[in-house]
Amino acid sequence: MRLSQPFPALPMDQYHFLVGELKNNSPFNPAAASAQLFAWFAHIGESVERYGNKRGKIVKFSQRNYEKMLFAPETESIGLLSPRIVPPDEADEAVNCDAQAMYSSGSELVLSIRASKLALALLFDAARPAPH
Mean pLDDT, the chain cut into blocks of 10 residues (132 residues total): 42 81 76 88 93 88 93 88 90 89 84 88 76 49
At residue 7, the pLDDT reads 41
List the one residue out of 8, 10, 4, 9 whose CA is nearest residue 96: 10
At residue 129, the pLDDT reads 62
At residue 11, the pLDDT reads 53
At residue 48, the pLDDT reads 97
At residue 82, the pLDDT reads 96
The answer for 48, left when phi > 0, alpha when psi is -120 to 50, beta otherwise, is beta
Positive or negative: CA dihedral 72, 78, 84, 87: negative
List of residues 6+ apart from 57 with CB closer than 8 A: none
